[in-house]
Amino acid sequence: IEASLRVANFSKHYQLLAKEFDRTGFSFDVDRQLGGLLYIGDSALDDQDKLEELTNIKASLTTRYSTGKVCRDDAEQDCVELEPGLTRIMSTSRDYEELLWAWKGWRDAVGPSAKEDYVKYVELKNEAAQANDQPDTGAYWRSWYETEDLQGQVERLYEELGPLYLQLHTYVRRKLYDHYGPEKIDITGPIPAHLLGNMWAQTWGNIIDLCIPYPDVPSIDITDALVEQKYTPRLMFERSDDFFTSLGLIEMPELFWEKSMIEKPDDGRKVVCHASAWDFSNGKDFRIKQCTDITTDDFGTVHHEMGHIEYYLQYKDLPLLYRGGANPGFHEAVGDVLALSVTTPKHLYEIGLLPEPLDDPKIDLNYLMITALEKIAFLPFGYLMDQWRWSVFAGDTLPEDYNTKWWELRLKYQGLTPPIERTQDDFDPAAKFHIPNGTPYIRYFISRILQFQFQQAFCEASGHTGPLHQCDIYNSEEAGTKLGDMLKMGSSKPWPDALEAIVGSREMSAKPLIDYFQPLIDWLDQQNKANGDVLGWAAEGSNSNESEAEQLLATFNEEAQVEYAKATEASWAYFTNITDYNQQKS
């Protein structure tokens, strides 16, 4: 807390100095850097007491989340933390009641007690945003993208991608129905939120065993291979480092290996296990903090976090104010785009994690399904997280409606419903790390778009021919050069400049993502039609009986003719004989 306050005062000092300049006529570079000094986040609060209060609240929210645990039968000696315990239950159990215990327990442990802090957090964050010349914190966060219509842009992208999600949702709902039965799954309704292999139902890859198109062909899940080959967290990170150097990019410095925490400490310390990459702003100290598990999922996470470190290394010699992603989504996309190559059957065979090359259309469909459960399933969650916060910060959603609004959005965009009744005494948004930690989330949605644009450009540079989902840019220095040139720009130019440097266009586009998944989209459409399943979901408690709807329309048609004829007759009477009596009747 003391360090945060010290940095806040430092930022405030230089903000005041920067305000003394009239930047008219300054060069683009000097003007851009001085502008960066003016907008300093929470540090802009003038009232030192309020700044200290906000800093303490942020620490309290994060600590509550990081130390949360769920105990069986209130027995303090039989408790499970989120990582790895609850996460493993959510990812591996197929027991409806056990999943419900973990899901509800986590939300009970970290939600209700956070609400009072969060209400005050919103108030103080908005004061800080206004001190940065923005009406509220949502607007301040959106200003980082240097575009007038970020909300319109992401809405357009989501509308393009919505049909993909509907196909996937409908297929997965059918598979859950087959497994859990009609007493648990409404085949036309939303999906209970605890059954999708993830505490927040943000990605669904952990239920691939229920959803795999062709279960009898060789698996491309590498968890068993990682364990059999005695992979350690260190070896997983070394594999990732090898990928970067194969592209001609910068290898991890020795200090990275010395200082990073890539395993959960076994000395009793409590740590924030959520994986993250750290830049210590001195041009030489870069670290990752991750409680790495030896799984396929964490193999991808390792590459994602290493992507952040590579970005730091590439722009470390720029002025400090330029040491950041072109926009927040760029930073997230860099690691993810590499994971698109790393997880291909071709690459896994090349590095010895698959026993044979797997060139089979069925394996291709399985691979696309695995990827879709991570990428497409995430899209509405990535979109709605900040839809909720923007509404809260703008004052459109009041504290008494926090939880109601949360589940309205989960239903509207994800087609999910809570497995048990939720009330305003609950505060379920606080069960997701980025809410108590105050990390904006639309960056992750944007990164899902950008990574496929990047992948298409890198694959073209590498000389790849064939479907985009089969591309592996490993060992392509041509692709590495294109990537490295963009990374070196940091935030020194507006993000459309950086995007144009890679893809030749200044606009985000969903088309490469759609092209990547097109074979799976076509297959899902066939499967859903063959099953007779209807895309979408009926709201809980609504009537989905079409014959009853037809009867309602027939009754309406019959009665409406009578009522509308009477109304028209009254109007006719008035317009052809204007009297007080006829005016009253009309």
What is the tens place of the pLDDT at every residue in 385-430? Answer: 999 999 999 999 999 999 999 999 999 999 999 999 999 999 999 9
Are 131 and 46 in contact, with CB atoms under 8 Å apart?
yes
Q: Is the pLDDT of residue 74 over 70?
A: no
304 labelled catalytic: yes
For residues 457-480, give the mean pLDDT.
93
444 labelled catalytic: yes
183 labelled catalytic: no
C-alpha to C-alpha distance for 187 and 179, rounded to whole angstroms? 12
- Note the helical H segments in 19-47: 28-38
Catalytic residue among 118, 332, 431, 441: 332
563 residue type, one letter: E
Q: What is the pLDDT of residue 351?
A: 92
For residues 478-490, give the mean pLDDT.
94
Are 172 and 211 in contact, with CB atoms under 8 Å apart?
yes
Write the CA distances from 82 to 79, 255, 265, 445, 544, integer angstroms.
Answer: 10, 30, 15, 24, 38
Own/partner pairs, 496-505, CB within 8 angstroms, 24+ separation: 497/326, 498/326, 498/330, 499/326, 499/450, 499/453, 502/453, 502/454, 502/457, 502/458, 503/453, 503/454, 503/456, 503/457, 504/457, 505/453
Q: What is the pLDDT of residue 184?
A: 95
C-alpha to C-alpha distance for 501 and 545, rounded to whole angstroms? 53
275 labelled catalytic: yes
For residues 245-267, give the mean pLDDT.
94
Catalytic residue among 308, 347, 464, 469: 308
Catalytic residue among 39, 158, 312, 444: 444
Q: Is the pLDDT of residue 253 over 70?
A: yes
Q: What is the pLDDT of residue 75?
A: 63
Q: Is the pLDDT of residue 170 over 80?
A: yes
- The residue ranking higher by pLDDT, 40 or 80, is 80
Confidence at 95, pLDDT banded by 50, 70, 90: very high
Q: Which residues 6+ apart lie within 8 Å of 586 measured at CB?
A: 570, 571, 573, 574
Q: Is the pLDDT of residue 539 over 90?
A: no
Q: Is the pLDDT of residue 540 over 90?
A: no
Confidence at 544, pLDDT banded by 50, 70, 90: low
C-alpha to C-alpha distance for 276 and 62, rounded to whole angstroms? 14
C-alpha to C-alpha distance for 343 and 228, rounded to whole angstroms? 18
Share of the chain above pLDDT 90, in %: 67
274 labelled catalytic: yes
Are 110 and 366 in contact, with CB atoms under 8 Å apart?
no
For residues 298-316, give the mean pLDDT.
93
Nearest to 309 by CA among 364, 243, 231, 256: 256
Q: What is the pLDDT of residue 175?
A: 97
434 labelled catalytic: yes
Catalytic residue among 169, 194, 303, 304: 304
Q: What is the pLDDT of residue 128?
A: 92
Catalytic residue among 8, 128, 193, 275: 275
Structure tokens at 167: 């196909």
332 labelled catalytic: yes
For residues 132-152, give the mean pLDDT.
90
Round the average pLDDT of the chain to a whole number and report it: 91
Share of the chain above pLDDT 70, in %: 98
Question: Dihedrals φ, ψ of 123, to 5°?
Answer: -60, -50
Q: What is the pLDDT of residue 542?
A: 65
Q: Which residues 6+ apart lie within 8 Å of 241 measured at CB?
A: 251, 252, 306
Catalytic residue among 194, 331, 434, 469: 434
Q: Is the pLDDT of residue 13 over 70?
A: yes
Task: Express each pLDDT in 330-350 by its tens digit.
Answer: 988 988 888 889 988 889 999
Residue ranges of E strands in 150-200? 191-192
Catalytic residue among 305, 331, 333, 383: 305
Q: What is the pLDDT of residue 30?
A: 92
Q: What is the pLDDT of residue 586?
A: 64
How many residues can be counted in the chain?
586
Q: What is the pLDDT of residue 76?
A: 67
446 residue type, one letter: I
- The residue ranking higher by pLDDT, 177 or 147, is 177
Confidence at 358, pLDDT banded by 50, 70, 90: confident
Q: Is the pLDDT of residue 569 over 70?
A: yes
Q: Is the pLDDT of residue 112 over 90?
A: yes
For residues 125-139, give the mean pLDDT.
92
